[in-house]
A and B are shown apart, each in its own frame.
Chain A
Amino acid sequence: MKKIVIDPITRLEGHGKILLYLDEAGGLKDAVLEIPELRGFERFCQGRRAEEMPQITERICGVCPEAHHLASAKALDECYSAEVPEPARLQRELFYDAYIFSDHLLHLVFLGGPDLLLPQDTPKGQRNVLGVLQAHPELGKQVVKVRARAQRILDLIGGKAIHPVFALPGGVAQPLSQEAREEIRGHAQAMVGLAERMVTFFHEQVLPDPGIQSLLLAEECRLPTHYMGLVDEEGAPNFYHGALRIVSAAGEEIYCGDAREALSLIEEHTEPWTYVKFPYLKEFSWQGFSAGVESGIYRVGPLARINVAERMATPLAQEEFERFFDHFGERPVHATFAYHWARLIEMVQAAEDVARLSEEDALTGREVRGELSSPGEGIGVIEAARGTLFHHYKLSPEGLVEFVNLIVATTHNAAGIGLSVKQMAARVVKEGELDERLLNRVEMAFRAYDPCLACATHFLPGETPLAVEIYDAQGVLKQRIVR
């Protein structure tokens, strides 16, 4: 059996790899995703003071420190049975919406953007952020400018735009000033304006493209799984808090309730070839790496949140939500490439929500810290940009960390990503060959999820190179593509 390895080499965490196994005829036999493991993290946290956790955990991920910061703070709220005062909750939620907006915008336009905004067979050298800027210069400039405004909101509330330090057990560090609120209002209007423009752009210049239509509607890009995400009382996605809803591949509600209880619904499957655990819904038992209503495999992230939602929380997002389901004519939508469109809908809601929250009277209230009780056990659940994130802690009576368990979005999606890659690889890999153009197609399946493999903070050596290795049936390396 031949093996192809697509290896996004991370600098410190080992390798995140896509492994493609070929049969003797050169067709695809199997595909799996290996994601890095945080070795030793739990042991490092044991014995540390609980209030350090929001700062420690945000450092493990250079991509979404905001999500870890608030998930950690929420877990500590529960550990200390603390009621978070309304002004503090509003600060956290506004901060978090600004993060979701900023993160989704970055992916939509610059990271996953070339898959959406450039023709599919754009030459390798132009299939990048510069290519996007050359093709859409005005939009690109606007995106950079408005994203900076969202970052400024993170700075105003978070205290540090890139390492937020504001959330504490039971609340936040300080009240928000009236001046900061005024500034946020201005940024929010710019964010909503860009969100509207992005929607128009998407419908006028992206969606009509036959290549995009093919990816959205092709049967081999469709992966029926269950879906998981947080929703508010009205059934709209909420990134910061809410009930956890799980919807089956057939669209039936499996669970809707306390997000903290949901951990008891999940089992983790292990394989001998990887340290990575594959979560699945316990009631279905493990059916192997297969999709469908009988399988326990579920997905999280933008598409999952849109699929578990009854509606959106804001008007413009609601309009787009309705267009989304009208387009596909099914619910839930199983098209993996619909992750991008779902990301756009969520970005719109996040922008509108920042604007709404910036008008809340209580936002600048002075009471920002709830009373803490004796330390105990707590689970913090939040929707990171890439999906549901769990932080589970147990504290000693002295307030020291005794137990830590994190389940991150890419872990939830690990099985689904592997299946999507397999679908795409089966479509494009013929006779063991995988050239640059076809390799990009395989990567597109991976990128739709916006998976996060970055658990350390770096830019050196400056890129995340990809290595593709093709082995023959005897395990001898026959071809290697590095880029």
Chain B
Amino acid sequence: MPKACSNSVSCARVAVVALGNPYRTDDGVGPAVLRLLEETRHASRVTRHEVDLLESAHGGLPLAQALVGYARALIVDAAPFLPPGELSLLPLHPHPNPSRGREGCSPALGGRGLGGGGTMELHSLGLAEALAALAQAGFPVPECWALAIGIPGDPPFGEGLSPQVAAAVPRAVEEVKRWLTE
């Protein structure tokens, strides 16, 4: 079982964090990727050591706090703004000037702020912005990336993934391993 993301002290310098609700069908693709990684971690040189595989229910500041101390982090999450099954690796580098607006957003996300150009509105604190805030406060935050996996919008309650999304899971695992070797 992947362990939960927490503030507990870890020797690992790298974290892979899955977000998503496994009881909402395709929304649980992040945890599904993590489970496959976990199952194969002992057979893989890149996931065997010094990588924490984590699950989180929280985004934003709580998740950013849980990542303090790691050197690198990869967030694996469902993305209804991508075609189902499509993968996209995106940087979550905090922008030093949050008032700059959206020009730095990743085009892949339709300019919605994930790339660090978010507008930092209240109650809408994205992970990149939260990491920027913690960095400004002097906390050691990781270099952070997101592996977005396309799913259909508004997945219903239920267990299991649709065939199209399930087919993306092994590819996502390979993408995670590739990222780990960089």
Q: Is the CB of B119 within 8 A of A124?
A: yes
**Distance A12 CA – B148 CA, assembled complex (angstroms):** 15
Q: Per a CB cutoff under 8 Å, which of B7, B27, B63, B78 touches A155?
A: B7
Q: Is the CB of A463 within 8 A of B113?
A: yes
**Distance A112 CA – B125 CA, assembled complex (angstroms):** 12
Give B23 Cβ to nearest chain A Cβ, in Å: 5
When distances are taken between beta carbons in the complex, the residues of chain A under 8 Å from B89 are none
Indicate whether B127 reaches chain A with its CB closer than 8 angstroms. yes
Q: Per a CB cutoff under 8 Å, which of A61, A123, A141, A458 touches B20?
A: A458
Indicate whether A305 reaches chain B with its CB closer than 8 angstroms. no
With A110-B61, A462-B114 already in contact, the answer to whether A161 and B5 are too (CB < 8 A) is yes
Residue in A closest to B63 when the chains form the complex, CB atoms? A459
Q: Is the CB of A458 within 8 A of B4?
A: no
Q: Is the CB of B58 within 8 A of A460?
A: no
**Distance A160 CA – B80 CA, assembled complex (angstroms):** 27
Q: Is the CB of A56 within 8 A of B23?
A: yes
When distances are taken between beta carbons in the complex, the residues of chain A under 8 Å from B43 are none
Among A132-140, A213-221, A330-338, A381-389, the one that faces the other chain is: A132-140
**Distance A63 CA – B24 CA, assembled complex (angstroms):** 17
**Distance A110 CA – B119 CA, assembled complex (angstroms):** 15
Q: Per a CB cutoff under 8 Å, which of B98, B113, B157 touches A130?
A: B98
Residue in A closest to B139 when the chains form the complex, CB atoms? A144
Give chain A interface residues in 178-221, CB to chain B under 8 Å.
none
Give A7 Cβ to nearest chain B Cβ, in Å: 12
Interface residues on chain B, size class = 35 or more
**Distance A449 CA – B35 CA, assembled complex (angstroms):** 37
Q: Is the CB of A152 within 8 A of B7?
A: yes
Q: Is the CB of B129 within 8 A of A460?
A: no
Indicate whether A466 reaches chain B with its CB closer than 8 angstroms. yes
Q: Is the CB of A128 within 8 A of B22?
A: no
**Distance A111 CA – B133 CA, assembled complex (angstroms):** 13
Indicate whether B112 reaches chain A with its CB closer than 8 angstroms. yes
Q: Is the CB of B133 within 8 A of A130?
A: yes
Give chain A interface residues in 440-474, CB to chain B under 8 Å.
443, 447, 456-466
Q: Is the CB of B121 within 8 A of A459?
A: no
Residue in B closest to A63 when the chains form the complex, CB atoms? B58
Indicate whether A148 reaches chain B with its CB closer than 8 angstroms. yes
Indicate whether B120 reaches chain A with its CB closer than 8 angstroms. yes
Q: Per a CB cutoff under 8 Å, which of A106, A129, A159, A162 touches B133?
A: A129
**A 1-43 to B, binary, CB cutoff 8 A, 1 in contact else 0:** 0000000100111100000000000000000000000011101
**Distance A263 CA – B122 CA, assembled complex (angstroms):** 34
**Distance A162 CA – B120 CA, assembled complex (angstroms):** 24
Give chain B interface residues in 69-115, CB to chain A under 8 Å.
75, 77-81, 92, 98-101, 109-110, 112-114
Indicate whether A279 reaches chain B with its CB closer than 8 angstroms. no
Give chain A interface residues in 132-176, CB to chain B under 8 Å.
133-134, 137, 140-141, 144, 147-148, 151-152, 154-155, 159-163
Count A-B contacts at CB 8 Å: 204
Q: Is the CB of B21 within 8 A of A462?
A: no
With A44-B158, A151-B6, A458-B78 already in contact, the answer to whether A127 and B122 are too (CB < 8 A) is yes
Q: Is the CB of B77 within 8 A of A460?
A: yes
Residue in B closest to A444 when the chains form the complex, CB atoms? B122
Indicate whether A62 reaches chain B with its CB closer than 8 angstroms. yes
**A 104-133 to B, binary, CB cutoff 8 A, 1 in contact else 0:** 001000111011000000011111111001
Indicate whether A370 reaches chain B with its CB closer than 8 angstroms. no
Q: Is the CB of A461 within 8 A of B81?
A: yes
Indicate whether A224 reaches chain B with its CB closer than 8 angstroms. no
Give B65 Cβ to nearest chain A Cβ, in Å: 6
Indicate whether B8 reaches chain A with its CB closer than 8 angstroms. yes
Q: Is the CB of A447 within 8 A of B123?
A: yes
**Distance A148 CA – B138 CA, assembled complex (angstroms):** 15
When distances are taken between beta carbons in the complex, the residues of chain B under 8 Å from A12 are 24, 27, 80, 153-155
Q: Is the CB of A458 within 8 A of B77?
A: yes
Give chain B interface residues in 110-159, CB to chain A under 8 Å.
110, 112-114, 118-130, 132-134, 136-139, 146, 148, 153-158
Q: Is the CB of B109 within 8 A of A461?
A: yes
With A148-B65, A162-B6, A461-B109 already in contact, the answer to whether A62 and B119 are too (CB < 8 A) is no
Q: Which of B63, B100, B109, B120 has the most CB of A within 10 A?
A: B120
Residue in A closest to B22 when the chains form the complex, CB atoms? A59
Give B175 Cβ to nearest chain A Cβ, in Å: 16
Q: Per a CB cutoff under 8 Å, which of A11, A43, A151, A163 touches B55?
A: A163
Give B61 Cβ to nearest chain A Cβ, in Å: 6
Indicate whether A256 reaches chain B with its CB closer than 8 angstroms. no
Residue in B closest to A460 when the chains form the complex, CB atoms? B77
When distances are taken between beta carbons in the complex, the residues of chain B under 8 Å from A129 are 61, 120, 125, 129-130, 133
**Distance A184 CA – B133 CA, assembled complex (angstroms):** 27
Indicate whether A78 reaches chain B with its CB closer than 8 angstroms. no
- Would you give 18 A-B contacts (Cβ < 8 Å), ordered by A? A11-B80, A43-B157, A60-B23, A106-B61, A129-B61, A129-B120, A133-B133, A151-B6, A159-B4, A162-B5, A162-B6, A163-B55, A458-B77, A459-B19, A461-B109, A462-B118, A462-B127, A466-B121
- Would you list the 3 A-B pairs with minimal beta carbon distance, nearest first? A125-B99, A459-B59, A160-B4
Interface residues of chain A, those whose CB is within 8 Å of chain B, are 8, 11-14, 39-41, 43-44, 56, 58-63, 65, 106, 110-112, 114-115, 123-130, 133-134, 137, 140-141, 144, 147-148, 151-152, 154-155, 159-163, 443, 447, 456-466, 483
